[in-house]
Amino acid sequence: MKTYEKSDAARIMAAIGSSGHYDGILAPYDITVSRAHVAMLLDQGVVPPDAAARVLRELDDLERRLLAGDEPLDPEAEDVHTAIEQYLETRIGVDAGWLGTARARNDLAVTALRLWIRDQVIALRSRILALTKAMLTQAERHAATVMPGFSHLQVAQPMTFGHVCLAYAEAFLRDAERISFVLALQDECPMGSAALAGTGFPVDRSAVARNLGFRQPTANSLESVGDRAFALDFLSAGASVALNLSRFGAEIVFWSSQPVGLITLPDELVSASSAMPHKRNPDAAELIRGKTGRVLGNLHALQTVVKGLPLSYFRDLQEDKEPLFDTARTLELSLDAAVMIATLMEPNPDAMRRAADIAFVTSGDLADWLTRERGIPFREAHHLVTALVRLSQEQNCSLGALPLEARRGVDERLAFEEWPDITVETSVESRASQGGTAPRRVLESAARLRSRLVEFIEFEADFSDQETIKRVGMMTS
C-alpha cells in the first residue's frame, strides 16, 4: 500500500486548486478591471501618483504583449489573477502591491467574468442575427415553393418552404432577444465588494462601474461575490439557442436524406462514407445537433455547483469558468455552421411538390370547405370526410372524383353537384390567416420580420456603440 507524504498532498492540492491552465482567457478583462480600479484609487487619493502611474503603465504594456500573442504570464500560477499580480511584481517590485488595495480576488474575478460574458453575448448575438437573416432570405425566395408539412414525421398538410424557414427565423430572432436579456440582468458592477463585506477605504464604486460600462454598482457586497446567477443566465440563454439549433439540425438531416430529398447541401457541408461512396452524410447538421448535449450539460453542471452554496465566496465557484468557456466556443462554432447551412442549402422544388401530393392530403381542407360553404359543424364534417376517405380508398379514386350517388350513401347532405376537387396549390392558397402558409401571407410575415430584424440590429448596435464610447471616455478622462 502506498505511503503518502505531505509533499504528495501539496502536489495534489496545487493540481486541484489551479485554474491558470484555462482561465488565461480572462487576462484582458482582469487588466481592464485593474486599470479602472487603480484609476479610481488615484482619484480618491488612496494610491500615490507615482505608484499608480507605474502600475497603469505596466498594465498597458501587458495588454499590448497579450494582444501581440506573447505569453508573459506564468502558466503554473494558481489562476490568471495571481499570474498578473506576480507579473507586475517582477516588473515594478513593491509598487505592484498597491493593486490589491480595497479589493480581493473575489470581486475582481466576478467582475472580469461579467465583462467576458458581455463580449460573448455581443459576439453570439451577431451570429444568431446572421442566421435569422439567412433563414429570412430563404423564406422570401421560396414564399410560394410548395412542400409537405409534417406532423409526427407524417405528411400532414401542404405548406410552403418559405413558411418553414420563417418559423426558424422567428425562433432564432427570439433567441437573439433572449440572449440580450443577459446583458440587462448583469448590468451591475461587483468591484468594491472586496472579499465579502466591502472595504474600509474611501472607494468610489460608482466611478468604477461607469468606467467599466456598467449601469451601477451591485447593491450588496456579500451577495455580489458569491453570485453566479448572471453566469447561469448566460448558460440558460445559450441552452435555448442550442435547442433551436438542434431542432434545425435534425430538420436538415431529415430533409436531406435520400428517401426524402427535399434539399441538397453543398459538398463542403457533407462527408462521404468510408465504406459506401454513394453516401453524402450531413455531418455539419448532425454535429450541430450533437453539440447541444454539451451546452445543456454545461448549464446543469453550474446549476449543480451553486445549488448548495450559502452566501459569500466558496472555492466551488472556481468551477464556473470551464462550462462558460465551453458553451461560448461550442455555440460560436455551431452558429457559424448553421449560417453556412441556411445560406447554402438548395431546396428541390420538384421533389417538394411531389412529396406534398400524397393521397387525401387535402382531406382536412374538404372538411373546412363543408363547414364554410355548406354549414356543416366542423366536427361532424371531419367525421363525414373520414368516411369519404375510406370510400375513396375502396373505389380507388380521389376525394374529388367520388360520384354523387356514392357521396349520398355516406350522407344526404353530400349529394350535390358542385363537388370540389381541392388541389395542393388551392390548399396552400387558402391558408391565408395571419401567420399562415399562403404565399402572400408568407411575404407579409417576412416583411414584418425583416423590419423587426433591422430595428433590433440598429438598436443593439447603437447600444453597443454607446457602451463602448462610455467606457473609453471614462478610461481616458
Instruction: Please write the tens of the pLDDT for every residue from 393-433.
Output: 999 998 999 999 999 999 999 999 899 989 999 999 999 99
Contact by Cβ (8 Å): 234, 180: no
C-alpha cell recorded at residue 95 = 509598487
CATH number of the domain residue 406 falls in: 1.10.40.30
CATH number of the domain residue 56 falls in: 1.10.275.10
259 and 179 in a common domain: yes
Q: Alpha helices, DSSP H only, in 142-220?
A: 161-185, 205-211
The DSSP output letter for 308 is T
| 337 within domain boundaries | yes
Domain end, chosen from 403, 422, 441, is at 422
| 385 within domain boundaries | yes
What is the number of domains present in the chain?
A: 3
165 and 26 in a common domain: no
278 and 327 in a common domain: yes
Question: Cell 452566501 sits at which residue?
Answer: 311
Residue of 102, 111, 118, 109 lying closest to 84 (CA atoms):
109
Worst-scoring range by mean pLDDT, 59-68, 198-207, 391-400? 391-400
pLDDT class for 279, splitting at 50, 70, 90? confident
* Domain extent for 35: 6-101
Residue 366's H or E segment, with its range, is helix 363-374
C-alpha cell recorded at residue 215 = 449601469
Question: Cell 392558397 sits at which residue?
Answer: 429
317 and 178 in a common domain: yes
Residue 388's H or E segment, with its range, is helix 378-395
| 455 within domain boundaries | no
pLDDT greater than 80 at residue 465:
no
143 and 65 in a common domain: no
Contact by Cβ (8 Å): 29, 113: yes
What pLDDT sits at residue 472?
A: 42
pLDDT class for 2, splitting at 50, 70, 90? confident
- The three-class DSSP label of residue 76 is coil
321 and 199 in a common domain: yes
pLDDT class for 463, splitting at 50, 70, 90? low
Catalytic residue numbers? 152, 273
Question: Cell 401571407 sits at which residue?
Answer: 441
Phi-psi region of 375 (alpha: psi -120 to 50; beta: other; left: phi over 0): left
241 and 121 in a common domain: yes
394 and 330 in a common domain: no
| 81 within domain boundaries | yes
332 and 385 in a common domain: no
94 and 195 in a common domain: no
pLDDT class for 476, splitting at 50, 70, 90? very low
pLDDT greater than 90 at residue 339:
yes
